[in-house]
């Protein structure tokens, strides 16, 4: 989870802009109530852990605004005042294939500080806020990336176009022009985020009217738009693939600058083949919340005044409570209102992107009302649990394996082609799922077999006493789908094919399968990790459910093991087709 370090001096400066003064030390008491634990708090700074569902609290300014609402120090608007601007951005039709979404805003007259030290702290705080939004809402710039620029350095109108890899401009903190290709291969930011634009034939750039590069999203800005201590007017661009993430990132940056006295202006985004849009939008969002949902979840009937006071602490506002006249005659879901029932219309700021369902409003009401003020009652809702059929099958397999003296293990779903196929002499089961950015050569794919993981575990414990008998029941992934399997491996002297066959017969019996329906078929040499002539496939009514046998010593040596090992690998999905569970 992201943490934010706030300086008391900066917070006081922001608070004074808005005409509010209070003892900032009381933050230590109220922040945990909204799910933001205070990690440390001294005379100079306060370090806060912000949960991922509250990206609106990731800057000095937005945290200060939320504090004023919660502590009832002022009544905050649920909307942002936005002036209709005259500038526009034209979007090339080719951009749809590259990075289709663009939103933008202009903020003028921002008070960044009274002296160079305060101005420098502002710039660092703004950059920190930007990167935290990149990591959270932006999903490391994939969903959304933000550019903040000095408006005085550019001239509108603007354009959002595609350019070839040979296109050149001077990147942020650069000393010379570099081509797009050179930036992606040699520039630190280019190398870090090049995977976001790989396999593209052309690349997105934002240009001003003089064809100067404002930004090369999602990689880096142009050098000449760098924000400096003299910057008071800002141009903001947000591009990406997720509309909700882009809109929230844009309005949060605008909110931050607005808290410092900036006036927000909108821009027109003109698409060549679509209707133009105006960004940003500052109007609040109206949510319909059933009264019965509030009382059922919180266990208390709140008055309209209670609801309004509670939701105002969280930055919202109750605008109406009414009887529903449209909807179903009978409401089967808690979040729906039937005709004749009572509902509340609640305004929430557009930057509260975490509000996606009426239950989120109920949570905010509970926080504003105070959990300590809710009645201490046990849940009145009782729903009998019904076990899934799949869990019954898994339970019986586990019980059978434990009865054989095997110890259950759990390993990572991540593996690699060397362990899965080369060492085990198995072929891939359909399409492999590769890890796009593996952090280790041992974790490059999602496994298609469980047995290699057990072999790794035996190898790690090869200096321990024998026998070692282990099993795992878990998921494998083939053809991009999860499949349930189980496997066992026993390192013991005196074991072998006979012991492995006994295990299989015992498991089949415990699953209620008739032994006369079971056939054991020979496995060809080098078709897996098995010793030739000491392994078999298991089929039931023509359906292959797995294979077992004695491991070839050559395979065991690949894992550094010298003791005899017998093992098996079985497909639970196939077993379900031929087994019956009389105990359900």
Written as tens digits, the pLDDT of the chain (584 aa) is 677 777 777 777 676 555 444 455 556 666 777 767 777 777 778 888 888 888 998 998 998 888 888 888 888 899 999 999 999 999 999 999 999 999 999 999 999 988 999 999 999 999 999 999 999 999 999 999 999 999 999 998 999 999 999 999 999 988 899 999 999 999 999 999 999 998 899 999 999 999 999 999 999 999 999 999 999 999 999 999 999 999 999 999 999 999 999 999 999 999 988 889 999 999 999 999 999 899 888 888 999 999 999 999 999 999 999 998 876 655 656 677 778 889 999 999 999 999 999 999 999 999 999 888 888 877 666 667 777 777 888 888 999 999 999 999 999 999 999 999 999 999 998 888 998 888 888 899 999 999 999 999 999 998 889 899 999 999 999 888 899 999 999 999 888 899 999 999 999 988 888 888 899 999 888 889 999 999 999 999 889 999 999 999 999 999 999 899 999 999 998 988 888 655 44
Residues facing residue 58 across a β-bridge: none
Closest CA to 151 of 80, 252, 227: 227
Alpha carbons within 13 angstroms on the beta-carbon side of residue 247 total 16
Compute the distance between CA of residue 462 and CA of residue 57 in angstroms, rounded to an integer. Answer: 51
- Supply the pLDDT for residue 425: 92
- Supply the pLDDT for residue 110: 95
* The two structure tokens encoding residue 199: 């396999």
DSSP letters, 547-573, are EEEEEPHHHHHHTT--S-EEEEEEEHH
Q: Are 535 and 520 in contact (CB under 8 A)?
A: no
Compute the distance between CA of residue 247 and CA of residue 236 in angstroms, rounded to an integer. Answer: 12
Q: Are 244 and 167 in contact (CB under 8 A)?
A: no
Compute the distance between CA of residue 162 and CA of residue 214 in angstroms, rounded to an integer. Answer: 13
Residue 445 neighbours by CB under 8 Å, 6+ apart: 414, 415, 416, 417, 420, 432, 433, 434, 435
Compute the distance between CA of residue 429 and CA of residue 582 in angstroms, rounded to an integer. Answer: 32
Q: Which CATH number does the domain 3-70 belong to among 3.40.50.10800, 3.30.56.10, 3.40.1390.20, 1.10.1060.10?
A: 3.30.56.10
Residues facing residue 263 across a β-bridge: 108
Compute the distance between CA of residue 408 and CA of residue 424 in angstroms, rounded to an integer. Answer: 22
CA 30 distance to own-chain centroid: 27
* The two structure tokens encoding residue 4: 């934010």
Compute the distance between CA of residue 424 and CA of residue 530 in angstroms, rounded to an integer. Answer: 9
- Supply the pLDDT for residue 583: 46
Q: Are 543 and 574 in contact (CB under 8 A)?
A: yes
Give the residue carrying structure tokens 């992107």.
353
* The two structure tokens encoding residue 415: 């593996």
Predicted TM-score (pTM) of this structure: 0.69
Alpha carbons within 13 angstroms on the beta-carbon side of residue 173 total 6
Compute the distance between CA of residue 488 and CA of residue 477 in angstroms, rounded to an integer. Answer: 18
Domain boundaries along the sequence of the chain: 3-70, 82-279, 285-371, 389-578
Q: Phi, psi (5° rounding) for residue 72? A: 55, 40
Fold of the 285-371 domain: Phenylalanyl-tRNA Synthetase; Chain B, domain 1 (3.30.56)
- Supply the pLDDT for residue 500: 93
Same topology between domain 3-70 and domain 285-371: yes
**Length of the chain in terms of residues written:** 584
Residue 532 neighbours by CB under 8 Å, 6+ apart: 525, 526, 552
Q: Are 108 and 262 in contact (CB under 8 A)?
A: yes
Measuring CA to CA, how many Å separate 377 from each of 103, 258, 380? 48, 44, 8
Closest CA to 397 of 491, 467, 469, 484: 484
- Supply the pLDDT for residue 363: 92
- Supply the pLDDT for residue 479: 87
Instruction: Say if strands 82-83 and 263-271 run parallel, antiparallel, or are unpaired.
Output: parallel
Superfamily of domain 82-279: Phenylalanyl-trna Synthetase, Chain B, domain 3 (3.50.40.10)
What's the burial of 281, exposed, middle or buried (CB within 10 Å: 0-12/13-18/19+)? Answer: middle
CATH architecture type of domain 389-578: 2-Layer Sandwich (3.30)
- Supply the pLDDT for residue 27: 63
Q: Are 331 and 337 in contact (CB under 8 A)?
A: yes
Q: Does residue 218 have a cis bond before it (omega within 30 degrees)?
A: yes
Compute the distance between CA of residue 289 and CA of residue 275 in angstroms, rounded to an integer. Answer: 33
């Amino acid at each position: 989870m992201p943490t934010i370090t706030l300086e008391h001096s900066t917070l006081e400066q922001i608070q004074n802009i808005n005409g509010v003064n209070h003892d900032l030390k009381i933050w230590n008491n109220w922040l945990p109530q909204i799910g933001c634990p205070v990690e440390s708090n001294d005379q100079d700074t306060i370090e806060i852990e912000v949960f991922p569902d509250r990206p609106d609290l990731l800057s000095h300014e937005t945290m200060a605004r939320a504090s004023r609402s919660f502590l009832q120090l002022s009544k905050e608007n649920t909307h942002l005042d936005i002036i209709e601007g005259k500038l526009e951005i034209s979007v090339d039709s080719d951009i749809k294939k590259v990075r289709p979404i663009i939103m933008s805003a202009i903020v003028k007259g921002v008070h960044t500080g009274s002296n160079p030290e305060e101005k420098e702290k502002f710039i660092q705080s703004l950059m920190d806020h930007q990167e935290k939004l990149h990591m959270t809402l932006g999903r490391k710039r994939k969903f959304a990336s933000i550019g903040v620029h000095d408006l005085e350095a550019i001239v509108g109108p603007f354009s959002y176009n595609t350019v070839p890899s040979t296109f050149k401009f001077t990147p942020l903190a650069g000393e010379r022009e570099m081509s797009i290709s050179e930036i992606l291969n040699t520039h630190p930011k280019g190398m870090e985020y090049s995977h976001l634009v790989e396999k593209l034939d052309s690349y997105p750039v934002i240009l001003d009217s003089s064809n100067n590069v404002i930004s090369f999203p999602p990689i880096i800005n142009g050098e000449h738009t760098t924000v400096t201590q003299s910057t008071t007017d800002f141009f903001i661009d947000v591009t990406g693939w997720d509309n909700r993430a882009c809109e929230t990132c844009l309005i949060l940056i605008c909110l931050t600058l607005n808290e410092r006295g900036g006036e927000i202006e909108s821009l027109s985004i003109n698409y060549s083949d679509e209707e133009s849009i105006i960004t940003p939008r500052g109007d609040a969002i109206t949510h319909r919340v059933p009264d019965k949902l509030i009382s059922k979840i919180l266990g208390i009937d709140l008055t309209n005044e209670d609801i309004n006071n509670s939701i105002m602490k969280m930055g919202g506002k109750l605008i109406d409570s009414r009887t529903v006249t449209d909807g179903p005659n009978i409401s089967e879901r808690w979040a729906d209102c039937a005709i004749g029932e009572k509902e509340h219309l609640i305004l929430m700021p557009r930057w509260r992107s975490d509000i996606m369902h009426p239950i989120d409003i109920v949570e905010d009401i509970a926080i504003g009302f105070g959990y300590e003020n809710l009645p201490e009652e046990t849940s009145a809702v009782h729903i009998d649990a019904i076990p899934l059929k799949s869990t019954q099958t898994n339970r019986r397999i586990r019980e059978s394996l434990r009865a054989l003296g095997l110890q259950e293990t759990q390993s990572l779903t991540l593996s690699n082609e060397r362990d899965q196929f080369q060492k085990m002499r198995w072929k891939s089961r359909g399409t492999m799922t590769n890890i796009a950015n593996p952090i280790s050569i041992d974790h490059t794919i999602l496994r298609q077999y469980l047995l290699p993981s057990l072999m790794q575990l035996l190898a790690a414990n090869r200096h321990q006493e024998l026998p070692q008998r282990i099993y795992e029941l878990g998921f494998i992934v083939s053809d991009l789908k999860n499949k349930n399997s189980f496997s066992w491996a026993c390192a013991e002297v005196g074991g072998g094919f006979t012991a492995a066959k006994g295990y299989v017969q015992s498991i089949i019996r415990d699953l209620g399968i008739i032994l006369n329906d079971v056939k054991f078929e020979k496995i060809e040499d080098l078709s897996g990790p098995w010793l030739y002539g000491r392994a078999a496939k298991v089929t039931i009514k023509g359906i292959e459910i797995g294979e077992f046998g004695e491991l070839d010593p050559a395979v065991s040596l690949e894992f550094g093991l010298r003791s005899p090992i017998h093992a098996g690998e079985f497909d639970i999905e196939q077993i379900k087709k031929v087994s019956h569970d009389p105990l359900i």
